[in-house]
Structure 1
């Protein structure tokens, strides 16, 4: 008996996945609960089907480009949240997510339509011998692959099998000024991943990377920090304008592209007074007006001061775990000293202005009159809305679509 599947493959190109907003956005894009709660993506795909004979397979590929490797073997697997899921419809029936059948909880073997269950690989990407006319490049990558098999039911007789296959590929290219010119060469449609074979201790040709024309969505949360500027002596405008804009130029090689970009709250006074806001305003304007091919969808998020913590959390224990109250009191001066030392270290690492912005944002969030300083919003909400805009169904409007989402709107949406 033949077994057929309906397969949909979505690619997302992500720049800034190691940033404060980017980390959360990437987590969402790889979170099964994010998709079963926001069902517009799967609903749109079901609406396009006139007949379903087997499983519906959704392949979700996220390509992250970073200067250094971030949490290579981190597991993104999540326990499915059956309580907050939303139903889907197909041919007049309403289908609800049910607990997976016992056979669906088993590991699925690799096949053309599914990946290994929670697998990890690493290797490198390099130019081929046929590219002798171009400058050489070679860099490492790591990749996580994991799957979920979901069962949606409509009554006792009707059911839908939906398989989510997630792949996140992190490409480590230390010199970010090279990213734009390498983009079309990496995503040429013929470039292969050179996977490291742990059994034979050698590199073997892996899967082809997609063509840039087939990557329809890009998320950009790049931006400068005072500490980074001080350390590298690279001007703010490089990360705040030049790099995002040149990446968008390379990305828009067709007219069916969508860009989700995080900028900053703004108004006429700020744009005329402060260079940072003037740069962000220029980026927004040029993304809308000056790209070689106009974006089909441009989504601009303008968060105000963000409530969140840059850098690493400070963890200082108040004495040993089994210490009594008196021992903790005696240890308290030492605790304050260690905490202060770690805090100063973090301030130096991320920048004083960044830390002050965090403190101000947390203190004015939803306070009366705080909008005068820019409507503060939790960074988790900015990440959530950025992810939501990335997976929403493509616009059906004939012309280009521009959507600007303010900090207040971000707070209300999430």
Structure 2
């Protein structure tokens, strides 16, 4: 009975992460990794460090509220993948150590919008998907600014049991807040106004309690996967140097509103030689140096991931519906093949127009050279999925040191 009483005593933890570039290849995959419960259960990671604070208490129910704020130029309506069931099974055989006892996963439930699909009614009451607008009046230049937003929450609950049948309940609430403002040149200036502790997200059609955005001082971690290519720069009429250097540095400067801030950033494979030969690498090299030396107050920790050419598809959605139909008739099968080739060609051309020929060529080369002899000459090719996992891992794992450089090879072997 006392154990049930302890479960009713709930200890919450709130973590706020700012994510820039969540509509890109690495950014979108990083967000998916951040929404996987398994990321926070690994030994030495997020959950374990929090439980250690309550070793001497009688609390057996802990709630981890994870808030992810994504600033984008456009709304991303892509549905997020559920947690990987294989990894959940791995958690079943890996005990959680708490108060010098081993707790094993006994049951897990989840809830994602709509709430009617929830496997746990108590969790279903906390999930939602809603949108609306924010009107900012106290901006840097005292003008009124309107942003669109979309917020989504999904929840997971893990029930652990020790060998002497003691309960341990872990609840995760993942809240994704997309903040949409098309003019990215204003993002840095708007950051203090958005996170001023005065802004509420009031949905257009809902009875849910409105979410109040925290003060920027409470957002301790920022993940930056911003980047551009020649095609997108030309399409959006901006200078690549602005996105690859100025925009990131300006946002980082406003983000460091106080001490104890962490930045996890994706740059590129680099060294002092190529940074003096190629303008792109020179820009990334300059950005890394200035993030270390020009921010005031300085970052408490800077984690730089330097992936090589990425194995992955920047615009894979163009090929999702391309399926070759089969027929027992040879003539019909040849016709089906001809139609498929034509549709594939159109999709391929459309994809190149979207991401650029250089980006597509880089994808094909990286795929062909991954873990092949000579890959290191290209900067060591690495899957985009592994880069995303490494980014999420570094953002949630307590690591030591003011500066951490993660090479492409280290990214590849982290998982």
* Cα 1:75/1:277, change in 2 over 3 Å: closer
Q: Secondary structure at the match of 1:99?
A: strand
Contact 2:61-2:170 at 8 Å conserved across structures: yes
- The count of aligned residue pairs is 397
State the 1:13 CA deviation: 0.2
2:96 and 2:339 map into 1 onto residues whose CA distance is: 56
- Maintained 8 Å contact 1:105/1:149: no
> For 1:413, what is the secondary structure of its paired residue?
coil
How far apart are 1:107 and its partner, in Å?
Answer: 1.6
| Per-residue deviation, 1:6 | 1.1
Q: State whether residues 298 and 401 of structure 1, in contact with CA within 8 Å, keep that contact through their aligned partners in structure 2.
A: yes
Q: Which residue of structure 2 lines up, in the alignment, with residue 404 of structure 1?
A: 405
1:216 matched to 2:210? The reply is no
Residue segments in structure 2 that go unaligned for 5+ positions in a row: 111-117
Aligned to 2:159: 151
Cα distance between partner residues in 1 of 2:82 and 2:268: 32
Counterpart of 2:77 in 1: which secondary structure? coil
Query: 120, 128, 137: which is aligned to 1:119?
Result: 128
1:274 has 2:268 as partner? no
* Match for residue 355 of structure 1 among 353, 360, 364: 360
CA distance in 2: counterparts of 1:222 and 1:385, whole angstroms: 16
Shift of 1:273: 0.7
Find the counterpart in structure 2 of residue 346 from structure 1. 351
- Cα distance change on mapping 1:330 and 1:138 into 2, 3 Å: closer
Following TM superposition, the consecutive aligned residue runs of length 4 or more in structure 1 with deviations greater than 4 angstroms are: 130-133, 321-326
2:245 corresponds in structure 1 to 241
**TM-score scaled by length of structure 2:** 0.90
2:121 corresponds to: 107
Instruction: Tell me the residue number matched to 1:60.
Output: 66
Shift of 1:264: 0.1
- Match of 1:145, SS? strand
Over aligned residue pairs, what C-alpha RMSD do you find? 2.4
CA distance in structure 2 between the aligned counterparts of 1:290 and 1:122, rounded to whole angstroms: 37
The unaligned stretches of length 5 or more in structure 1 are 110-114
Instruction: After TM superposition, list the pairs within 5 Å mapping 1:160-171 onto structure 2.
Output: 160-171=168-179
Give TM-score, length-normalised by structure 1: 0.90
Offset of 1:330 from its aligned partner? 3.2
Deviations 1:226-285 (A, max 9, x none): 111221231111111111111100001111011000000011221011100000000000
> Are the aligned partners of 2:41 and 2:48 in contact in 1 as well (CA < 8 Å)?
no
Q: Is the 8 A contact 1:265 1:407 kept in 2?
A: yes
Matched ranges for 1:171-250 at <5 A: 171-198=179-206, 206-250=210-254
C-alpha deviation, 1:194, in angstroms: 2.2
SS of 1:229's partner is: helix
CA distance in 1, matches of 2:267, 2:222: 14
Name the SS for the 1:375 alignment partner.
coil
CA 1:323–1:225: 2 relative to 1, 3 Å:
farther
Is residue 2:386 matched to residue 1:372? no
Give me the whole-angstrom Cα distance separating, in 1, the residues matched to 2:269 and 2:410. Answer: 12
Deviation at 1:161, TM superposition (A): 0.5
Q: Corresponding residue for 2:293?
A: 289
Please state how far the C-alpha of 1:156 moved relative to its aligned partner.
3.6
Change (3 A) 1:56 1:378: same
1:317 aligns with 2:320: no
Judging changes above 3 Å, is the alpha-carbon distance between structure 1 residues 276 and 156 closer, same or farther for their aligned structure 2 residues? same
After superposition, the Cα gap between the structure-2 partners of 1:116 and 1:174, relative to the gap in structure 1 and judged at 3 Å, is farther
Residues 394, 107 of structure 1: alpha-carbon distance in 2 compared, 3 angstrom cutoff: farther
- Choose the corresponding residue for 2:52, options 34, 47, 53: 47
- Residue deviations 1:368-405, cap 9 Å, x none? 1220121000000000000000111264xxxx610000
Alpha-carbon distance in structure 2 between the residues aligned to 1:105 and 1:343:
41
Q: Which residue of 2 aligns with 1:386?
A: 391
Query: Residue deviations 1:92-147, cap 9 Å, x none?
Result: 11112122489x942216xxxxx84431111111125x779711111110011121
Q: Whole-Å Cα distance in 1 between the matches of residues 306 and 141 of structure 2?
A: 42
Partner Cα distance (2:148, 2:335) in 1: 50
Query: Does the 8 Å contact 1:107/1:117 carry over to 2?
Result: no
Distance in structure 2 (CA, Å) of the matches to 1:261 and 1:156: 45
Partner of 2:90: 84
Change (3 A) 1:401 1:187: same
Structure 1 partner of 2:113: none
Change (3 A) 1:205 1:89: closer
Query: Counterpart of 2:114?
Result: none
